[in-house]
Amino acid sequence: MRVSIETTSGLERRLTVGVPADRVDVAVDKRLQDAAKNVRLPGFRPGKVPMRVMQQRFGAGVRQEVLGEVISQSFQEAVISEDLRPAGPPSIEARKMQAGQDVEYTATFEIFPTVELQSIEDLSLEKPVAEVTDSDLDDIIEVFRKQQGQLVTAEKNAEDGDTVVIDFVGTRDGEAFEGGSAEGTTLELGSGRMIPGFEEGLVGAAAGEERVLELTFPEDYQKEELAGAAVQFSVKVDEVKTLELAPVDDALFTQYGLENGTVEAFRTEVKQNMERELRNAVEASVKTQVMDAIVQAHEGLELPTSLIAQEVNAMRQQMFQQFGGAAPQDMDLSTVLPDEMFAEQAERRVKLGLVVAEMISQYELTAEPAKIREAIEDIASTYQDPEEVINWYYSENEQLAGIESRVLEDAVVERLLSGAAIAEVECSYQDALAKARPAAPA
């Protein structure tokens, strides 16, 4: 087998591979001979079809199959012999494929970059320090009570936070516009569902009252024909409803997963979960700062475009499944969720993956079984049957690999933190959670 290699640009390589003709021809003949033992053709006894007939009937198709296998196998042999690490599948271009002649093709692909670890000196970061107060606990329990509460008709004027049932007609220059009218619509005042001024204009209204709202659509409104348009809404309030919080009783305890509990046991359970969430948020905040430092220190690292494309596609699929379910097979998701939405984050993930993998290798880090178990138990503790969840993780190789990867990442973070300057910053429970959340896109 002949192999030559050239660098076309950056991480891109082009292999020209030549495969002796007999490697293909011998494989084609053997496959035809094996097939002849079982093939049935009119005029021939089973297993007695002559090779010339087999060649005429099936030779071209069998040769294509063999060529595909030979190209795949020889490509793997070539990259091993040249000590290359492809970052994605190659683009194959046939050059010579005629029967009786040596096979020749080119394979163009990207390779993984050589990662030279940069020193992350003077690493300084902030660690949020917070505690769960009784006030925080009361706030969260109120959220639970709202979630399990019910709307009841109220004989009063609508206030911010109340829900109104309304009929409305929107007009522009005296003419109704598409999508501007509805009947029996339920709207929570202060939810921000409607354009600016609409919900505010209904504060103080009572059931049966009619109001006319003079409003203007935002300049960046999604429907271009209405962007910046001055409109008028005639609104009738049919009903005012207020949210009646669910009582702190057995029904609420059951919804939270606590059977036969007491108020004290319920508050203890909720507080433990909040403390776990706080601990995870602090760890996430610190980890994000370390990862930011890694990315910044390796700004010059060239990244394979094929890996970025794979990451973009994975993120797009994940987002679509999260908000829209499974996509039809013939649907091009890139028309709905373009690459630009994910490109920056995908590059970050690819860079971190390459650098962190190199750190794990050079620092000789391993995913200790005890750490893996600890991480799984922490996840399982939020479920009603923790042991069942633990067993599930250990029986699912893909899920277990994900935990191992996370433990290795944490080991890298711990290694870098050993030389970092860490400033503890006191803050509230909610502020600590906010620091762990990713920033909203600009």
Non-local (6+) Cβ contacts of 116 within 8 A are none
* 286 CB neighbour count, 10 Å cutoff: 20
Tell me how far apart the alpha carbons of residues 257 and 261 are, in angstroms, rounded to a whole number. Answer: 10
Considering only CA atoms, which of 164, 161, 222 is closest in space to residue 195? 222
pTM, full prediction: 0.77
Which CATH class, in words, describes the domain spanning 2-110? alpha beta
Amino acid 325: pLDDT? 62
Residue 113 contacts residue 11 (beta carbons within 8 Å): yes
**Which of helix, strand or coil describes residue 102?**
coil
- Per domain, the residue ranges of the chain are 2-110, 124-132+260-436, 150-244
Which numeric CATH code is attached to 124-132+260-436?
1.10.3120.10
Can you state the angle between helices 263-297 and 397-417, rounded to 10 degrees?
Answer: 70
Tell me 259's DSSP state: T
Tell me how far apart the alpha carbons of residues 158 and 215 are, in angstroms, rounded to a whole number. Answer: 20
Task: Give the chain's residues under pLDDT 70.
Answer: 324-330, 438-442
* 174 CB neighbour count, 10 Å cutoff: 6
**Which of helix, strand or coil describes residue 354?**
helix
Considering only CA atoms, which of 103, 93, 108 is closest in space to residue 8? 108
* 13 CB neighbour count, 10 Å cutoff: 20
Say which residue the tokens 């939270």 belong to: 256
Torsion angles phi and psi, residue 425, rounded to 5: -120, 115
Residue 258 contacts residue 251 (beta carbons within 8 Å): no
Non-local (6+) Cβ contacts of 403 within 8 A are 372, 375, 376, 393
**Which of helix, strand or coil describes residue 321?**
helix
Q: Please name the residue ranges forming H helices in 256-304.
A: 263-297
**Which of helix, strand or coil describes residue 110?**
strand
AA letter at 79: V
Model confidence over 282-313: pLDDT tens digits? 999 999 999 999 999 999 999 999 999 999 99
Say which residue the tokens 């080991």 belong to: 411
Q: What are the b/e assignments for 216-246, b being 16+ CB within 10 Å? A: ebeeeeeeeebeebebebebbbebbbebeeb
Model confidence over 98-118: pLDDT tens digits? 888 899 999 999 999 999 999
**Strand-pair partners of 239:** 165
Q: Edge-to-edge strands of the sheet including 103-110? A: 2-9, 12-19, 103-110, 91-96
Query: Could you tell me how many residues make up the chain?
Result: 442
Q: What are the b/e assignments for 51-90, b being 16+ CB within 10 Å? A: eebbbeebbeebbeebbeebbeebbeebbeeeeeebbbeb
3-state helix, strand, coil in the chain (%, to 5): 45, 20, 35
Considering only CA atoms, which of 105, 70, 77, 104 is closest in space to residue 91? 105
Amino acid 68: pLDDT? 93
- Give domain 150-244's CATH number out of 3.30.1220.10, 3.30.70.1140, 1.10.10.10, 3.10.50.40: 3.10.50.40
Amino acid 324: pLDDT? 64
Residue 182 tokens read as 């509805």
Tell me how far apart the alpha carbons of residues 243 and 147 are, in angstroms, rounded to a whole number. Answer: 10
Q: How far apart are the first and last CA of the chain?
A: 54
